[in-house]
Structure 1
Amino acid sequence: MIPIALTIAGSDSGGGAGIQADLRTFAFHRVHGTSALTCVTAQNTVGVNRVDALPAAAVVAQIDAVASDIGVQAAKTGMLLNAEIMEAVAAAVQQQDIHQLVVDPVMVSRAGVVLIDEVAIATLKTHLLPQALILTPNRYEAQILCGIKIQTLEDMQNAAQNIFDMGPKNVLVKGGGMSDTLLGIDVWFDGQQMETLKTETVATTNTHGTGCTLSAAIAANLALGKSPLAAAKAAKTYVTQALKYALDIGQGQGPVGHWFPLVSKAPEALGFSRLWS
């Protein structure tokens, strides 16, 4: 069986995050990637200039078209943008019996900027969290979900436990927004096992798309048959490698480099060496 993964997310015109990052991640895991577009953004390495939501019915039609014909071994959600799309996606995922769902609750950027309104946040909690096999909030999203200010490792662990009680089967609180020794440390909780996940820290300012890439890599590894924790660990390793080959493009924050499996051995021969930061 050819593994199939579905991304339900927005488009990033700059190619660094959203479905563009997700589909690259699927491809480099040798997983066939399918997509359901939720919104179109006009953005680059500097920022987002415009966001246009698709009708909820159009999002559902994409999910149904993929699931009814090709099938879905695992799926991930990214930017869902509003409550109407969230409710529709939750219903479609349930109707299509998609069990291995990774929910990246795109509510707040790593810098702490809130991206969706209060109604959408409430809808996310009630409709999507209970369906998530794995939920991957960053520091600020975890704070909003559980109402705990997160500054220490113990705070991250308490947040993971509290968010677990909201319905997801596994919670991965990401530490990309933490500081000092906690930078990049993630906390995993599955209701019984609490584990701290850490890889080497990569010194680069070009980190656009790390959250999308991580959740997509988890979904890809689930589609490949890995357990939830093994999928999370493998995904974290993938993101770390992609950060090592982050692209120094544009005038702002460049994206992580998904090409590393191709160029890590001989980047000069492929003409890519000038891109790496």
Structure 2
Amino acid sequence: MRLDRARLQALQQRLLARADVPPPQTWVPVRLSAHAIGVTRPEIARFLAAREPRCTLTEHGLEFVAEGLSFRDRCALLADAAFRLRDEGLLAGWRDEQLDVRPLSGGAPLATIERAACRPLGIATHAVHMNAFAPDGALFVARRADDKPIDPGLWDNLVGGMVAAGETELDALAREAKEEAGLDLATLAPTRGGFVRERRPVREGYLVESVQVFDAVLPAGCEPRNEDGEVAAIELRDVADVIAAIERDEFTLEAALVTLDALLRRA
């Protein structure tokens, strides 16, 4: 199939505008000592400043006072804040998964935090997604389960998920490939694609996420099978059908951008 590059670029630009929305001006910056790490709603900032001994609210934002603390102690500080938010009903969907907390400007991890606390505190996350092609160029896609708390029922890349604390991108991709599609990444030859970035308000708070794109061509006759129960269906679809579905907003925003990254490289 010959891809219409101008059509794909126009669609990509429309979606990128949706993926880059600053937080409301009334929201409060979040700092871990000298490092900017996120942004949060005023009510969360006020709650933590009142309940967490090492949190203070100033004209510059909400600060977790962590000078002199070890990495382990900084993790404990953020864990305590996450538990307080959970117990107060200010965050939901507890996952028992730790993600790295890095300065918004980049750099080495400062601490780790429960995944469910990232969006309420506007903490940046990093993910990997893989476009899974058949040898003839068709694309495997997955429909998210209807009981997923985020984007239920929408179409998604066959493989995608967060990079956990201490994981490499390929470690995370291998784990997600097995859980979401029953695939052994060691038998594939994934190649790196582009990089997708999002920052926008969401129901849970503020999403700040970077996604490393990977592509792979699955062997002829391969039939991916979900193993974690978070996928309602897996389909092999013609690229033209996928593009039309993206235009109808039937894909998650990040999956649409990840897919367009691959298609534009193939156009």
Structure 1 length as normaliser, TM-score? 0.28
Higher strand share goes to which structure?
2
Q: TM-score if structure 2 supplies the norm length?
A: 0.29
Bigger radius of gyration, 1 or 2? 2
Identify the structure with the greater helix proportion.
1
